[in-house]
Structure 1
Amino acid sequence: MPTNRDLDRRGLLKVTGGSLAALGLTAAGCGGGSGSGDGPVTLRYAWWGGEPRTIAIKKTIALFEKKYPKIKIKPEFTDYESFWEKFQTQASGGNPPDVFQNSVAFLRKYDKRGVLMDLKSQADAGNLNLKNFRNGVLTAGQVEDKQLGVPVGANTMSLVVDLKVFKKAGIAPKMGWTWDDYFDALQKIQDTQKIAGDTGYFSIMYLYDLYLRQNGKAFFTDTELGFTEADLTQWWNDGYKRVKSGLVADPKKIEQVKPKSGLSAGLAASEFTWDNFSIRYEGEGESDYGLAPIPTTDGKDTGQYLGSLMLSAFTGTKHPKEVAQFIDFMVHDPEVGKIMGYDRGILATTEQYDAYKPADANNKGVAAYEDEVSAAGVLGKITPHPSGADVIEAAFLRIGGEVAQGKNKPAAAAKQFFGEAKAAFAG
């Protein structure tokens, strides 16, 4: 079990920016637009996110329209849940936006429905550059031989820890520590600091995917789930036991502090999440927080990969060339990179990554975490997400939460989940 030695330098990458020398530590018709001939073209551009993202994106739109005065952008934006409810209706009616923010969970779903443009055709035509993407993240937007999305940012799963609690408990995670090490650490935190070690790891689909990948499986194959009911029963059974023992925080208390995280509320000492999400804790909590490595099964393989938010295009747009030019500008232009920063993850292209130099310690820590995970050689290719993955992720979170609260026994919950997954795949 790791000790207190070299807490910040070797095992924990401080989000607060204290030390970055860790070992590998570290989402109107057929297309939209008006205009013809030499007149202006209007493209609809839709995304989800909060007010800071919207303010930044509107600034990038103004830059684009200055460079391309004959292309006008009509923005459409809302929160995540409302975005996909609206998009579902638009897609069913043949009227989605020309360009829209997307994620891997929706690629196969809307490719299956004929909504997404294969952007390779525009790359071949010279309207879109598909080069200079960092760490192989471009593959996140690929399905079979099609490029259905172009990444704007990249992130990977991480373990965010309360640095003060871990230091007091004498725990310094290092790259290659195991799940046994992690759970031993939770026990030590409970024994010495009198709080839970984890906020509730076992209902996070993307974390379970990493665990499965470490063991030669994956959450998804191209068409279905890549694990068994018995696998999931064991995962949820072990998790529930840790809730009962106090190693994992009481889920009722976690619910009570929302939207604040259970970690920043002081209910537990660690939480698994995407690395770029970790910036939230400094604003919410009263401690110092850092990024630690994902526990492993074999002492080496974390199962990690780069996820991504991306831009996709409607295959029925009336203006495919202009759409491609817009996407190209948004993912390669250095000034856009400076404006967006790491709002949607670490910038995906070298042009934007090199142009943006984060001044705040939080973003510096996140960038260093991702760079060093890449340098450690543990990053693999993202697991495919079949059509229905979005519904399945929501079901995993919901049913896993029921297990944590004792409302559903692990075996029955696993059976229920597999039933709902089957229906989602068929939908």
Structure 2
Amino acid sequence: MFTIRARQRMLAAAALTGAAVLALSGCASGGGEASAYDPDEEVTLTFTWWGNDDRAQRYQQLIDAFEEEHPNITIEGNFTDFPSYWEKRKTEAAGGGLPDVWQFSDSYLREYAEPGLLLDLDEVSDYIDFDAFDDSLKQTGQLDDVQYSLPTGYSAWAVFLNDGLLADAGIEPYEGGTSYEEYTEWMASVTEATGGAIFGGTDLTQRIQNFENVLRAKGENLYTADGELGFTEDDLRDFWESGAAARDGIAVPQQRLEELSPKSGFGANLTASEASWSNFLGGYLADSGAESVTLVAPPTDEPGSKDLYRQAGLQVAISAGTEHPEAAAMWLDFVVNSEQAGEIFGTTLGFPASETKLAGTKLEGVDKQVADYLDSVADRIGEAPPVPVVGYGSLEQTFWDLGKSIGLGALSVDDAVDQFFAEAQVILG
């Protein structure tokens, strides 16, 4: 494993050949063969991510730290919300203009790697410390044994509780790990106690991750290793129908959430609970201004099942079309491996996947809270699901959009199921 200074000495002497560049159309989109890295050459890299203002402030601190160590490299950063982020990447991919380095998701690995839009990181391996990662986490960015991205960290699905709102309402916190029916009853108790000023939570059936947990509890997955859906129309229909009680005045109305967007109901202090990935804790605290937020295990109808997993979906990748692959690799390495990244981000990009990043993370306060939560659900952690199918990101968004339409009363469950499977047939072929 390298020290930062040793790596810098090595980088200054290294010379690599750039990758062949492909756009979605199959045409060349970059600068072709790259020259050796010159520490005196002025280089500008584009970098983008999805997230909120808290994440943006942290990334700016990291950019400042990197540019101080590498004064010849300028990082031009920008961000947007998650749905808009991937729509913009699709447009850029079609035109051959993807960012040099970008926050990535394993949900899109096949979609961007198979047509040659991502750089094979082995081509810039002298600039990245791969040894700092556990093999199982490193594999989350691999397709057909090629390393296309690296994780910033890993998370597990959780239920977040706003302690202050619950204390004000005189409601005991949700204990976690109960049945879905018991969780819905708890949400109802919050909504009733506050007269609807604060809702118990949101409709869990809107998020595909909650559906995934239900499937995994039965030993199934959202998709198969062969790239097919791992569930039936009846499975999906049953799941969406299970949210009917919550949608009937217990969960926050979808129209209220539409008015709050891009903030969530939890971030806007309108709900006392919300299910999401454990690394959202810092962002939720920033959005809500809450003094204290607790993480507890999500509900399950199959006690003892391995429905949860270490989700290392938040990754960083380099576009195959970058004109500066070596500098891009140095920035990627700084994001996923540096102690500065650990110090600045803590667990907000997931519990650090890299040993060197973890070394810079002080596990206290919020970060220790996330670490403790991951320990508390260790007995529910199973194997990671298969590599997402091509188009999984689009399917995830379709699932969310249809769930919101059900919540708005604009679509019946039967029609939503029909639309989802019709869309899946088009996407998966």
Flag whether TM exceeds 0.5 (same fold). yes
Pairwise mapping of residues 255-294 of structure 1 onto structure 2 (< 5 A)?
255-263=258-266, 267-283=270-286, 284=288, 288-294=292-298
Residues 161 and 271, structure 1, Cα contact 8 Å, conserved in 2: yes
Give unmatched runs, 5+ long, in structure 1: 1-27
Q: With a CA cutoff of 8 Å and minimum separation of 6, indicate the structure with the bigger relative contact order.
A: 1
* Other-structure match for 1:153: 153
Pairwise mapping of residues 108-257 of structure 1 onto structure 2 (< 5 A)?
108-123=110-125, 126-133=126-133, 136-163=136-163, 168-170=170-172, 172-174=174-176, 176-189=177-190, 195=196, 196-222=199-225, 223-244=227-248, 246-257=249-260
| TM-fit CA distance, 1:139 | 2.9
Residues 133 and 354, structure 2, Cα contact 8 Å, conserved in 1: yes
Residues 105 and 313, structure 2, Cα contact 8 Å, conserved in 1: yes
Question: In the TM superposition, what whole-angstrom CA distance separates every residue of 1:37-69 from its partner, at most 9, and x where no partner exists?
Answer: 856263523112445444443443454455456
Sort the Cα spacing of 1:411 and 1:338 in 2 relative to 1 into closer, same or farther, 3 A. same
Give unmatched runs, 5+ long, in structure 2: 1-27
* Other-structure match for 1:354: 359
Residues 177 and 295, structure 1, Cα contact 8 Å, conserved in 2: yes
What is the aligned counterpart of 2:107 among 105, 108, 111?
A: 105
Residues 52 and 283, structure 2, Cα contact 8 Å, conserved in 1: no
Superposed CA RMSD in Å reads: 3.2
Distance in 1, matches of 2:230 and 2:153, equals 27
Q: Which amino acid is 1:289 matched to? A: V
Question: In the TM superposition, what whole-angstrom CA distance separates every residue of 1:388-408 from its partner, at most 9, and x where no partner exists?
Answer: 122211111111111122221
Residues 295 and 302, structure 1, Cα contact 8 Å, conserved in 2: no
Q: Which amino acid is 1:220 matched to? A: Y
| TM-fit CA distance, 1:198 | 2.7
What is the aligned counterpart of 1:337 among 325, 339, 342?
A: 342
The alignment status of 1:389 with 2:392, answered yes or no, reads yes
* Bigger Cα displacement from structure 2, 396-405 vs 79-88: 79-88
Residues 224 and 230, structure 2, Cα contact 8 Å, conserved in 1: yes
State the TM-score, normalizing by the size of structure 1.
0.79
Q: Which amino acid is 2:93 matched to? A: A
Q: Which amino acid is 1:368 matched to? A: D
Sort the Cα spacing of 1:304 and 1:120 in 2 relative to 1 into closer, same or farther, 3 A. farther
Distance in 1, matches of 2:102 and 2:306, equals 32
Distance in 1, matches of 2:34 and 2:67, equals 15
Sort the Cα spacing of 1:220 and 1:41 in 2 relative to 1 into closer, same or farther, 3 A. farther
Q: Which amino acid is 1:97 matched to? A: P
| TM-fit CA distance, 1:157 | 1.5
Residues 152 and 312, structure 2, Cα contact 8 Å, conserved in 1: no
* Bigger Cα displacement from structure 2, 145-154 vs 33-42: 33-42
Sort the Cα spacing of 1:323 and 1:32 in 2 relative to 1 into closer, same or farther, 3 A. farther
Distance in 2, matches of 1:82 and 1:31, equals 28
The alignment status of 1:425 with 2:428, answered yes or no, reads yes
Distance in 2, matches of 1:119 and 1:237, equals 44
Q: Percent identity?
A: 28
* Other-structure match for 1:296: 300
Sort the Cα spacing of 1:88 and 1:192 in 2 relative to 1 into closer, same or farther, 3 A. closer
**Tell me, what secondary structure is at the counterpart of 2:127?**
coil
Sort the Cα spacing of 1:50 and 1:289 in 2 relative to 1 into closer, same or farther, 3 A. closer
Distance in 1, matches of 2:270 and 2:75, equals 44
Sort the Cα spacing of 1:338 and 1:242 in 2 relative to 1 into closer, same or farther, 3 A. closer
Residues 342 and 361, structure 2, Cα contact 8 Å, conserved in 1: yes
The alignment status of 1:47 with 2:48, answered yes or no, reads yes
* Other-structure match for 1:4: none
* Other-structure match for 1:79: 80
* Other-structure match for 1:24: none
Distance in 1, matches of 2:134 and 2:346, equals 15
* Other-structure match for 1:315: 320
Aligned residue-pair number: 392
